[in-house]
Every structure is written in structure tokens, then in C-alpha cells.
Amino acid sequence: MKKTKIDHYTDKEALDYHRHNKPGKIEISSSKNMTTKRDLALAYSPGVAAPVKAISENPETAFDYTSKGNLVAVISNGSAILGMGNLGALASKPVMEGKAVLFKRFADIDSIDLEIDSQDHNEIINSVKNFAPSFGGINLEDIAAPDCFIIEEKLKEILDIPVFHDDQHGTAIITTAALINALDITKKKIDEVKIVVNGAGASAMACANLFKKSGVPKKNITMVDRTGVIYSGRENLNQWKTAHAIETKHRTLSDAINNADVFLGLSAKGALTKDMVKTMGKNPIIFACANPDPEIKPEEVAEVRNDAIMATGRSDYPNQVNNLIGFPYIFRGALDVRSKTINEEMKIAAAHAIANLAKEEVPDEVVAAMGGERPHYGKDYIIPSTFDPRLISVIPAAVAKAAIDSGVARINIKDFGNYKDQLRQRLDPTVTIMQGINNYIKKKPKKVIFADGEDENMLKAAIAFKNSNLGVPILVGKEDLIKNQLKKIGYSENFDIEITNSKDAKKREKYVKYLFRKLQRNKGMLERDCDRLIRNDRVIWASCMVACKDADAMVTGNTRRYSSSLEKITQVVDPRAGEIMFGLNLIVNRGKTIFICDTSVIEYPDANQLAEMAKSAARVVRLFGFDPKVAFLSHSTFGEPATDRTKRLSDAVKILKKEKVDFKFDGEMQPDVALEELYKELYPFSEIVGNSNVLIMPSQHSAAISYKMIKSMSRAKVIGPLLIGLGLPIEIAPLRTSTSEIINLASIAAYSADVIDYKNN
């Protein structure tokens, strides 16, 4: 279910992605300062002796003095890789590194992949047993049945840390959550429904087991494998299939599905037919979870039934059964209470937490994260979206509480409200922001120009934009050069993507007339000068396309300096009415999100410009789902020391106070005062000291230097600079911008084209 294959890239791009910069997807970094001789002495010899002695005397203190409590081992022998089969331990490493990345992204859990080159389950068990003391949890992945059952069962017996086979239990938990809500909507009782499970692999058996633990009688679940119904007395059943055998006269899926309430498919494309669906009971519940193609498509079900609730494993249909909703958050809750295992109570708690979250009214900040759509509990919304930022606080808390209540937790959580707040602070909000923006623009696709179409990164970004259904990309460049680049990165030179340039005589004539009308008086340009600009500069050409409504938005840059691109654009496009232009960067580092401006346009803004910048920045920050708290930064704090250069900043604060704006602001102040809570007690009169998130810099050079140093010297995630205040939705990528960063800017431009009013420009 979690392994959908979507071709948004070529094999070469995937290989380049894994090889680029550092090979692979994970690395180890120090959580402590390692800059001085004293740091090294504390980290290793002789300082390390103290925690060594403490752990030898009390092994539980390993959770206090090492990374054990937030470290999960991702284990595989490569015997069942992504549905591709037994390709061996080494071949599974990219998948297991990917799993480790998902743990970090969704739940801030550190993990290490360990591939065991053995097909002997006893050898695997012994290997894991011997290195398990280093870890707080074990995640088993892509191990073929029946070895996955044997390995998990034995490890749970001998280890005192959580052992979890996600292929089984992650699927089971999400599916059980979906079942709980589907039964609620259809007014069916869990102890009365008839369920057919098509498939008898690890995930199917785990789902059946959790259904039973949740209240479905064993006799009401019919499991079907390739041979047919698993019934009592059938020959050649292994011990795991035997556990699901029931007394029944049914022998085929067609027999079993007749008058059934629920179908769960974990099998293959086309296994469930429309004729079978017709025979199901009233208000049937159909979970067709085979990937990439389900057992039956929702539109096929709709042709024969209008009373069905449908879920699949795919993101392009409602009700996606996706393991990402489960395993990171389940481990997060288990690790946080140092649980000895992940028991049935914890799984059921996770399922109910997921189900209950779908029933809750979706708040505005979640709507923003999900692209502007407010889902409502019902047949098309029985499972929360993977975009829902509430998952990180809801599921771990439920799992942790169940661990405490069932007696497998080593530590107690006294204040769950505080615990949930801590959980919310763990994640990178830029991912949720971009997911929300992308989800929004998919519903209202725009034509977006990628002005530097011959550049490799820009071309890759345009292709990914198209293949991800984010909108319609238009490349500006010479057709033969773009086709050569397409072949270079692994695509056919006839790849279906629009290419435009100044050879288009009809468009060129239109753009020349537009530009001449605009520049003939205020720039003194002749028509032939405008024609020369249109012919020779792709940024001018692309900007005219947006201005003349032949496209909705644009991204450029990457091949030239930011200021050069901006100069070209502003010949074609004016600022928005009543606004100033400036650059705004979103930066996330160590769980804190800040916005910095002006990073790219106004060299030395005066007090009025600083105040206007603050107002525009506050508006944009709200579009991203944040409550703006604006700090005007300087080398001084509240007039100490007072200089001529600080007066502009304090004057900007006075201007905003007179205008009675609807956001919090203060200044001037030094950056540490704006960002670090320890200064609150020194300046109790200010509401934003220690918690500012919008930093207005005193000049462009200080802003640009600051954000580029942060980006280069730390692990900060940066989006931007975003060009705020321009009269059309155009973004400029700095030199050497990555493909992913260009896609983000293109998405933001497309989003701006829909949510910002450009009519008066």
C-alpha cells in the first residue's frame, strides 16, 4: 500500500538524485558542539568515561546519556523489496535509507538502516538480538512471509524494545481506522459485519487480526488466497493461514463476496469485478488497496453502486490507505515513554486516534496546509490526509497513553497537553506548507513559464511540475537545445512539453506592441528597441507572456544574477498598486521558522519603506499559515546604543503604531533578542522578544548576508527569496538553485496567481 510507483522522473534522474552531493540519503551529524578541545574531551576521552560508568551500573541510563531513546533500526534482508521480490540485502539499502528518511521527516526519529545478508530467519533473529541494545526500537521491512512472522514473534519475545513489522501492522492500523469510520457512517455494528479479505500475505493477516481484536468475530472474516477461500479442513495450510480458517461452504471469492458488508483487497489489480460488487450487501465498504492499481477502481464501483464507501492505496482518489499516517507516529509515541513493545492496545489506540481525527472539524491552519480544501467527515473522508499536521500530536499521544495504561511504558507522561505542544514543534513546516500549496494548485492548474528552458535544473523542474500534475509548464528557449537536454537527462526528445521563443511571429508582434506602449514615454524607447528586447531576451519574452495573459505565472533565474533578472522583469511589470517590492525568505532551522526581508531588492530602505515592508510581509506570512510577529533588527536594542542608522528602524515602529496594524511588532532589537526566549525577562514590556518570526533587516546587504550564511553554514531549509509586491506572479531563482527549489518557486508563483488580486496592475 505504501509502495505506489508514480513515474515523475526517469531512472537516470533517480540515480543522479541518489548519487548527488553525498551518495545515499542519510548521514550522521553531531547533536553537540565539537569545536573546542574541551568539547572533544567531553565527547570522547576522558569525559565519556562518566556516562560509561553510569550505564554499566544502571543500563536504563543509556536512554539519558546516548541517542538510544530516539534511534530506530530499519532491518531488511531484501527478500520482498517493493513488490519486486527477493533481490538481496544490498539491493534493499536504498529502500531502507528511504524508510529512515521518512522516520526523520514525519516524526523526528533518527534511524539507521541495517541490511542483513541472510535468508535464514534464525540467523537474522540472532543478528538483531546482538545489536539491539544500541536501539530504542526495531522496524522490520520488506521481509517475505512466513519469515517475517517468525522473526517478529521471536524478537518480541527476547527484546525489551518495540519491534514492529510495518508491512503488517502499519497497514492493519490504518485499515482498522478506516473500517471504524466506514462502519460509523453506514450505521453497521462491528460485531455483526461480514468481511472478505482477498489476499493472505503478511498485511492481510495483520489486518484480519486487528479487526478481530477490535470486535469483529472470527467467523465473520473470510480470507481468500490464490487457491480460494481458506476454510477449516483445507489441505496444505501453514500455521498462519490455519489461524484464519473458518467453517464455511464458500470456496471462491465470488461465493464469499455475496451479501458481504466489507471487502478488503491486498492482492492484485482486477481481483474484484463489478458483478461481484453488485452482490454485496447494502452500503458496501470496499477497500481496494493493491498498488499501483487497485482490485477495482472507484469509478468502476460507481457504475454499479451509489451507496458504497471506497478506499484505495492511491493518493489520486479519496480515502488513501497510507502507512505514512501510521508507523512514524506510532514509533514516536512508543519511544517517548520508552515502551518495551508495541502491543495490541497501542495499535488499537492508534487506529481510534486516526479515526477520531477524521471526525473532527478541520481548523483553518490545517485547511491552509491541505491546499485550501476543508474536508468533512463522510464517505469521501474517512481517513485524515497525510498532509494533516495534527497527526504528529494526536497519534503519538494516544500510543503513549495506551503504553502507559497497559503497563509497558518505562516512564510516565504527566502533562499530555505539554507533550502535544512538544510534538508539534518537532517537524519542518516548509514541507507541510509546500504540500498544501501543491494540493491547492493541482485543483486549479495554471500555465507557468520556465523562462530558462535550456538550463538542466530548470528543465527538470518543468518536467516534474508537469508529471506531478501541478500545472502546465511552458519552456522558453531554442527547441533544438531543449531537445538535446531532454535526451541528456533521459527523456525522449519528443517529450510532450510546450516550447516557445521569439520565432513565434504572432506573439512577438503582440509583445512588441505591449512593450512599446509601456516604454515609449517613460523610457523613451523606440518600437525597434522593444523588438530587439523581445527577440534577444527570454526573460523579457516570458514576462510579456504573463503580462499579455498567454500564461498565468513565471519562474526564471538560476542562470544569471538575481538583480539582472529583476532588472529585465521590471521593464515589463510594475509593482502592485500601492506596494513596494522586496525579497522575502522563509527559513527553517532546528524547528524554528523565520521570515527574513528584504534580501534582494531595496538596498537601504527608509522608515516608510520598512513599515510598508512589514505590512506586506505580515500579509504573506499569514498566507503561509503563520501568525506574524515582526522584529525590526539592528546592532542596537531599544535605543542602546542610539545612532543615526537605528533611527530609521525606530521610526518605522512609530509609523506602524500610528496606523494601528493588526499584527504584533517591535524594535529596534538585536537578532538574539528577537529570537531567544532568555531575553524575555530583560524586556518584559515587549510581546515579541524571544518569539519573533518576521525579521525586517536594516538593509539589503545585511539581509542577504544573513540568510546566505544561515543556508551555507547550517542545515537550514530555505524557500525563496520570494518577490513580494510585483504586479504579476513571477519568482526569481538565485544562481545555482536546485531543481526542488525551482519547483517550489514555480508552485508559489502559480498559487499567487490564484490567491492574490493582480487585476489593478
Catalytic residues: 44, 99
CB atoms within 10 A of CB 226: 8
Rounded Cα distance between 696 and 599, Å, is 10
- Total residue count of the chain as it appears in this document: 761
What type of residue is 388? D
Rounded Cα distance between 66 and 70, Å, is 9
C-alpha cell at 638: 531599544
State how far the alpha carbon of 244 is from the alpha carbons of 209, 220, 247, 252, in Å. Answer: 9, 11, 10, 15
Rounded Cα distance between 370 and 373, Å, is 6
Rounded Cα distance between 408 and 122, Å, is 26
DSSP string, 602-649: -SS--HHHHHHHHHHHHHHHHHTT---EEEEE-SSBTTBS--HHHHHH
- Beta strand extents in 314-354 (DSSP E only): none
Point out which residues pair with 74 in neighbouring strands: 113, 139
Is the distance from CB of 278 to CB of 256 less than 8 angstroms? no
β-pair type (717-724, 582-589): antiparallel
Point out which residues pair with 223 in neighbouring strands: 197
DSSP string, 204-259: HHHHHHHHHHTT--GGGEEEE-SSSB-BTT-TT--HHHHTT-B--S--SHHHHHTT
Alpha-carbon torsion (20, 26, 27, 31), positive or negative: positive
Residue 470 neighbours by CB under 8 Å, 6+ apart: 438, 441, 442, 445, 743, 746, 747, 750
CB atoms within 10 A of CB 612: 20
State how far the alpha carbon of 663 is from the alpha carbons of 17, 466, 599, in Å. Answer: 42, 38, 22
State how far the alpha carbon of 576 is from the alpha carbons of 431, 546, 582, 619, in Å. Answer: 29, 15, 12, 14
Residue 526 neighbours by CB under 8 Å, 6+ apart: 516, 520
C-alpha cell at 53: 560508568
Taking the alpha carbons at both ends of the chain, their separation in whole angstroms is 48
Nearest CA to 277 among 238, 250, 242, 303? 303
Is the distance from CB of 86 to CB of 112 less than 8 angstroms? no
Rounded Cα distance between 302 and 296, Å, is 11
C-alpha cell at 538: 527570454
Nearest CA to 71 among 98, 43, 107, 115? 107
State how far the alpha carbon of 185 is from the alpha carbons of 302, 305, 712, in Å. Answer: 18, 16, 52
Nearest CA to 162 among 337, 3, 4? 337
What type of residue is 93? K
DSSP annotation of 126 reads: H
